[in-house]
């Protein structure tokens, strides 16, 4: 689970930019014919393209989120078009608007929290049935008992909690608050770009509804932006699946291959391997082995000297130093090697994880705590004339093999012999 603030910011940034762009566009007063025509077709265009994108990747949750937002847009757009053309609202405008204000956050939260199941067809039928039931009941009540429904929706049930600033029916505010807390809890448990987009999208809908009849094209713009947030989150997650290693959070092999194609004339590549990892895995189990890989990845991600760490595969990691020489990189690699060697890994039962950082520090500092440590071997190679990145990486891998033969827990450059291994204990001797 990603925890760094930078990763979390990357989850929210695309949606926040789309939200700000939507807010800015909504407040533009004088629009030319091109933008007027664009905003009229934009929600439908976004639904068709974004919905097709979600359908191809079998992302039913995101598809139904888009459909929910579009249905709300369609119902309200019919009302706003009539208002602009006739200078007055339709007779059913109030009850339709209040129903949308209540059901939009409800269905948005329901589909946002509804995880996909194994049987995609059954899951799609179930989602469609829920949407159909809510729509049918709302339509039947609106057609059969419009006045009674309007009175029930617009009733102020908690006068002490009702403020003059409230532009929506009172029931809408606790509904939005409950859904916001639900989606915030979902993101806290499982930080994902999609969950971040759902949160920001809900805020956009909450801002949009009171402005529907006040600011022209607010409805078109914000509904389009919310659907774009969802589509962008799907694309973001697809990119992460393809280019980022799920266990360690580092960029994966495919990202490394792409980076190697964009290196300049001077660069250094290093290959790192966890020493005796198979034996460690067999002794302590795969859960502890995964913990070790995450630790090594965390240390390597902090490499200095402009280096960038990648998960190469298994217990192997690659490091890329663009525009550097091998002499500039060796001290930084040695610092990382020492950092991993001296770090004590506390063995713990996964069922008794600490609830917070303070409790975790207390456990780690407790007497008699069971701990282990690991070391890494590192091979380094520098680009020379007429050598491709693949050849440099192969040389780094050969240097890694030499580091293993030199006794492990050391840094060796390609072409060095065992006596040239960089290791603090040897240097001290």
Residue 133: CB atoms within 10 Å: 10
Considering the candidates 315, 316, 341, 391, report the single residue annotated as catalytic. 315
Q: Which residues, 6 or more positions from 259, have their beta carbon under 8 angstroms from its beta carbon?
A: 251, 308, 310, 320
Distance CA(121)–CA(126), nearest Å, equals 9
316 as an active site residue: the answer is no
- Report residue 76 as tokens: 């309200």
Distance CA(57)–CA(76), nearest Å, equals 30
Among 381, 410, 383, residue whose Cα is nearest residue 395: 381
N residues, the chain:
429
Q: Kindly list the distances between the CA atom of residue 359 and the CA atoms of 81, 260, 351, 368, in Å, as whole numbers in the listed order.
A: 59, 42, 15, 16
Q: Which residues, 6 or more positions from 98, have their beta carbon under 8 angstroms from its beta carbon?
A: 150, 153, 154, 169, 172
Torsion of CA 253, 259, 260, 264, to 10 degrees: -170
What is the maximal distance between C-alpha atoms in the chain? 92
Among 107, 126, 116, 23, residue whose Cα is nearest residue 69: 107
Catalytically active residues are 315
């Amino acid at each position: 689970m990603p925890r760094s603030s930078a990763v979390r910011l990357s989850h929210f940034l695309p949606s926040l930019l789309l939200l700000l762009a939507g807010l800015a566009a909504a407040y533009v007063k004088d629009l030319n014919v091109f933008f007027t025509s664009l905003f009229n077709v934009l929600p439908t265009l976004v639904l068709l393209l974004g919905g097709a994108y979600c359908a191809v990747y079998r992302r039913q949750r995101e598809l139904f989120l888009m459909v929910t937002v579009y249905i709300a847009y369609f119902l309200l757009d019919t009302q706003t078009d009539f208002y602009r053309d006739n200078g007055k609202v339709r007779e059913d405008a109030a009850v339709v608007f209040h129903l949308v204000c209540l059901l939009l956050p409800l269905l948005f939260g329901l589909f946002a929290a509804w995880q996909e199941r194994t049987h995609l067809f059954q899951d799609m039928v179930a989602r469609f049935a829920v949407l159909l039931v809510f729509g049918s009941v709302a339509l039947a009540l609106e057609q059969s008992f419009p006045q009674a429904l309007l009175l029930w929706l617009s009733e102020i049930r908690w006068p002490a909690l009702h403020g003059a600033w409230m532009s929506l029916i009172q029931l809408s505010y606790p509904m939005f608050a409950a859904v916001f807390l639900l989606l915030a809890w979902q993101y806290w448990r499982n930080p994902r770009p999609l969950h971040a987009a759902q949160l920001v999208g809900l805020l956009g809908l909450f801002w949009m509804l009171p402005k529907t009849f006040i600011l022209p094209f607010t409805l078109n713009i914000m509904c389009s932006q919310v659907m774009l947030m969802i589509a962008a989150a799907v694309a973001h997650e697809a990119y992460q699946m393809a280019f980022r290693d799920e266990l360690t959070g580092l960029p994966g092999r495919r990202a490394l291959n792409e980076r190697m194609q964009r290196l300049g004339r001077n660069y250094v590549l290093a290959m790192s391997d966890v020493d005796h990892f198979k034996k460690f895995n067999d002794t302590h189990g795969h859960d502890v082995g995964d913990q070790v890989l995450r630790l090594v990845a965390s240390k390597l991600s902090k490499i200095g000297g402009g280096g960038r760490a990648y998960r190469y595969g298994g217990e192997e990691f690659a490091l890329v130093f663009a525009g550097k020489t091998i002499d500039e990189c060796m001290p930084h690699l040695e610092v990382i090697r020492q950092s991993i060697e001296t770090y004590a890994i506390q063995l713990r039962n996964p069922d008794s994880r600490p609830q917070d950082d303070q409790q975790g520090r207390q456990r780690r500092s407790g007497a008699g705590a069971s701990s282990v440590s690991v070391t890494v071997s590192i091979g380094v190679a520098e680009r020379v004339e007429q050598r491709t990145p693949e050849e440099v990486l192969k040389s780094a891998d050969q240097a890694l093999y030499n580091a293993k033969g030199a006794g492990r827990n050391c840094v060796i450059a390609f072409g060095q012999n065992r006596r040239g291994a960089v290791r603090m204990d040897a240097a001290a001797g």
